[in-house]
A and B are shown apart, each in its own frame.
Chain A
Amino acid sequence: DVKVTQSSRYLVKRTGEKVFLECVQDMDHENMFWYRQDPGLGLRLIYFSYDVKMKEKGDIPEGYSVSREKKERFSLILESASTNQTSMYLCASSSIPSGYTFGSGTRLTVV
């Protein structure tokens, strides 16, 4: 069964901390994505990557960065966490024609 695995289901971090959210896929997909989901705002794209070492900004990249050193791993980094980054973070991967496969999500709370 194909999988996208996010390393943590729940995280609590303090304001100003550097936060790493890890995502690993085992499907050899080229494309990987990071979204956040907030009530009433749906899924908003933060960053995506089409290949190793490649990254592109999505709709809301401010306050975030990403790293893709290996094809299977796509990391989201909050350089200095703030309370408005409290959210559900979803990683996805995709390859033609299989569509997007999402991870289970990480519920991040910044206090």
Chain B
Amino acid sequence: DQQVKQNSPSLSVQEGRISILNCDYTNSMFDYFLWYKKYPAEGPTFLISISSIKDKNEDGRFTVFLNKSAKHLSLHIVPSQPGDSAVYFCAASAGYGGSQGNLIFGKGTKLSVKP
């Protein structure tokens, strides 16, 4: 059973507009959430994270929102750029670090930003 779900396999957005990538989770013990970006033929790279004590974290064009009651998080990219075109993975962990801290990944959402 999937604990981290990205229900949209793909998303297409016009350059300059907002991209919103969604992620749902089922395990209420998750307390740390991350987004990774992956280009073809490369490994995923860390993008942004949020701990469960916060509901928003912002880093430049990227903002992650966490709604604990809904067990939902989202990544907002504003404005979207063609270089943002990649697969985005949502990940979560419970008690981050050590034997309790394995990340559970969603299946990914492929974002295409069109010029």
Residues of chain A touching chain B, judged by Cβ–Cβ distance below 8 Å, are 4, 9, 30-31, 33, 35, 37, 40-43, 45, 48, 50, 90-92, 94-97, 99-105, 107
Tell whether, in the assembled complex, residue A45 and residue B102 are in contact, meaning their CB atoms are under 8 Å apart: yes
- By secondary structure, the A interface counts as strand
- By secondary structure, the B interface counts as loop
A-B contact count (CB 8 A): 61
Contacts of A9 on B, CB cut-off 8 Å?
A: 41
Residues of chain B touching chain A, judged by Cβ–Cβ distance below 8 Å, are 6, 9, 34, 36, 38, 41-46, 49, 89, 91, 96-99, 101-103, 105-108
Contacts of A102 on B, CB cut-off 8 Å?
A: 36, 43-45
Q: Measured between C-beta atoms, what is the minimum distance from B73 to chain A in Å?
A: 16
**CA separation between A41 and B91, bound complex, in Å?**
14
